[in-house]
Structure 1
């Protein structure tokens, strides 16, 4: 939550606050569509699935991979757009496999070229888009609209949250996961509480930072990736995301006294070892900022408010909802305009 009048006036803040209601509406509008998509994908019985995306959407693709592999027992790969758009090397082994193409605009040339190439090889294109009339949607066999509404801030917020909810809904129907479907019914309440959570206490320790780590695992690793990306985009802060399990394999040696570490703790079994890892960072003198179960974040100098009594998948989505308020406030505190990051455009026309 941004308490200052200036902070709440940014387009980024306004759009982020729309996400909970947009997600509720999406779940209502997509209910029958998702049931049918789940039925079609179960009947397809593919040996694997793939995602196709860039930027924030690629972090959503990583979230889809987590969901499909843990809830759907479906091996899932990330298909690099350049494999189809530049190298023209899409394999005929894609025949009958779903390719989940994720794009807010549905107009990025490289994604379109890669999707077209994969479709020519027999892939079943599933488009997860905000614009259901976009070229990407037109070439897909299954179209999943995220219903985020117009998003004008360059930094994606509500479209990312809505995309995560749509992917969760799709996987829940595909895998017939009753617990996940039941959890989705709480989406509005969980995300509204997350939007109201005040993470602004983290602004001061990050105001003068030049670099930092953002760590997560399982459902929160893609959330950490999105958070790191937003810190770069909106605050000019060199933030890098790593898995809690991988950060000790090299990156941890770069962290010293006063260096900030933001831990977005998972609420599921991926919590394993987190408390010890954060204690290691604290022992090095790092400034540890964390959200998660109380038992996991005892070593943190700053614990961010978050609910831990929710489904782990929704808990991960709630963390990025809360983080966007922090990102907006930090951007302003560092003298940046979060609505117009330098050198960036809403539609990235990579070839």
Structure 2
């Protein structure tokens, strides 16, 4: 893989971008987070077992909402708790209150200051929900109004593109699910996840970088626990590389969007290492037969792919932790791709680090 110093964008003193450096810190962030949040997460988990919520609602924007997608599949597959994504504008623009008595209301935010998230969190508390804030800024307005605050402990991010804070959000959801469920396999996976993330950072995805330098459009496919990773990848392609990318479930893409896939159409497949993997790889084969340009990240490999199309995947300590590893490998590749396409990954055009919506 080409190193960040090989390109001409503004860099830190050691020649790397802030995005590269911050993404590389993610494993240490997660290890620190698991340790520091152990007590608050354990107490919340005990309360959730004593008084189980009838359902869970997530509220977030941007990358944090992609983390919420992961949380939805995590809570539903591991805990059997129906989880819905709140549309922030329902409360902040339409001023329509929701019936949330007894619900667990999880708000995910880096800054904890976006007005729409604050308005919805306030409404959720008034309606009788338990509000949990997963936030990077511990003294933020969101943290002040939440019933429980679980800090992300990601530290400051200078790059506009969120990396370590996104992975910290996934890790927070994973730790909460493991403690809430009390599952031995999930709990055992937590301390092993940071080392697995370090292994993921070392994976060589340079074939993806080389293949997408001249690309204009792209599909990113995932499913289940891996759908949020596909959504996050598509966003990062757009904001750091100027590359139009759309994320789809490997099941949903067959309901219309697949008609666009023909000879040479680029597709990145992120095959989650669980019950969805075989179906996702079968779809990859179908698209390859159509002549699509394919790159597939799969722990078990993609039998039909050429050596340059198979992207190596680090071994996860538990399938539920696999999306953290996939995204960690992807971040290194997309940072290099941004530079190869002539973009500064730290300063996407027209974007700010903190986005406040109403």
Task: State the TM bucket, normalised to the shorter chain.
Answer: over 0.9
Which of 31, 46, 49 matches 2:56? 49
Give 1:128's aligned residue: 134
Q: Deviation per CA, 1:218-267, whole angstroms, max 9, x where unpaired?
A: 11111000000000010111100111111111111101111110001010
Give 2:18's aligned residue: 11
Q: Which moved more, 1:301-310 or 1:33-42?
A: 301-310
2:84 is aligned with 1:77: yes
Give 1:331's aligned residue: 338
**1:20–1:192 contact (8 Å) kept in structure 2:** yes
Decide whether aligned partners of structure 1 residues 4 and 59 sit closer, same or farther in structure 2, where only a CA change above 3 A counts: closer
Q: Which moved more, 1:147-156 or 1:192-201?
A: 192-201
Q: Which moved more, 1:318-327 or 1:291-300?
A: 291-300
Which of 322, 327, 337 matches 1:320? 327
Give 2:11's aligned residue: none
- Using the TM superposition, give the Cα deviation of residue 294 of structure 1 relative to its aligned residue in structure 2, in angstroms: 3.2
Which of 301, 318, 322 matches 1:311? 318
- Using the TM superposition, give the Cα deviation of residue 338 of structure 1 relative to its aligned residue in structure 2, in angstroms: 0.8
CA distance in 1, matches of 2:5, 2:262: 36
- Scaled by the length of structure 1, what TM-score is found? 0.96
SS at match of 1:273: helix
CA distance in 2, matches of 1:58, 1:242: 15
2:58 is aligned with 1:40: no
**1:126–1:142 contact (8 Å) kept in structure 2:** yes
SS at match of 2:253: coil
**1:275–1:298 contact (8 Å) kept in structure 2:** no
2:342 is aligned with 1:342: no
- Using the TM superposition, give the Cα deviation of residue 274 of structure 1 relative to its aligned residue in structure 2, in angstroms: 2.2
Q: Deviation per CA, 1:145-175, whole angstroms, max 9, x where unpaired?
A: 0100101111000000011001100111111
**1:2–1:198 contact (8 Å) kept in structure 2:** no
Give 2:66's aligned residue: 59
Unmatched 5+ residue regions in structure 1?
Answer: none
Give 2:30's aligned residue: 23
**2:240–2:343 contact (8 Å) kept in structure 1:** yes
- Superposition map of 1:140-159 within 5 A: 140-159=146-165
- Using the TM superposition, give the Cα deviation of residue 349 of structure 1 relative to its aligned residue in structure 2, in angstroms: 1.4
Q: Which runs of 4+ in 1 moved over 4 A?
A: none
2:152 is aligned with 1:160: no
Unmatched 5+ residue regions in structure 2?
Answer: 8-14
CA distance in 1, matches of 2:225, 2:199: 19
CA distance in 1, matches of 2:310, 2:61: 31
**1:264–1:319 contact (8 Å) kept in structure 2:** yes
- Using the TM superposition, give the Cα deviation of residue 208 of structure 1 relative to its aligned residue in structure 2, in angstroms: 0.8
- Using the TM superposition, give the Cα deviation of residue 309 of structure 1 relative to its aligned residue in structure 2, in angstroms: 5.5
Give 2:12's aligned residue: none
Q: How many residues align?
A: 350
CA distance in 2, matches of 1:340, 1:4: 15
